[in-house]
Amino acid sequence: MSASKKPATDSARISPTQVVREMRDGVPTTELTLIRIELETATTVAQVCADALKATSTDETIAAIALVLERCVCGIVEQQMDRITTLLKGGAV
């Protein structure tokens, strides 16, 4: 990515000063909420792709790709979203 182009999500981010102001027990709540929303979107897209692969093919290789998407992408991202949720609720991870 070139230096002049920023990801679309950068506009949704808050400044470092705002992050510090909005910290609760050492947790930047607004920033974590934005990250969680982005992860949730990514998980949904990966799950839709996995479901589509499973539904449209009987090829074992394609089925294996769908399984990898579910376990290695969706599963791991969902674990991280759970950790963020715990932090936002004030718990330890």
| pLDDT tens string 3-51 | 444 444 444 566 666 665 666 666 667 778 888 888 899 899 999 998 9
6 within a domain of the structure (yes/no): no
16 within a domain of the structure (yes/no): no
14 within a domain of the structure (yes/no): no
18 within a domain of the structure (yes/no): no
State how many domains the chain has.
1
38 within a domain of the structure (yes/no): yes
**How far is residue 36 CA from its own chain's centroid?**
6
13 within a domain of the structure (yes/no): no
Domain span at residue 36 reads 25-88
8 within a domain of the structure (yes/no): no
The pTM assigned to this predicted structure is 0.59
93 within a domain of the structure (yes/no): no
Distance, in Å, from the CA atom of 78 to the CA atom of 13, rounded to the nearest integer, reads: 21
Distance, in Å, from the CA atom of 87 to the CA atom of 56, rounded to the nearest integer, reads: 39
Cβ(65)–Cβ(17) under 8 Å? no
| pLDDT tens string 38-76 | 889 989 999 999 898 888 888 888 888 888 888 888 888
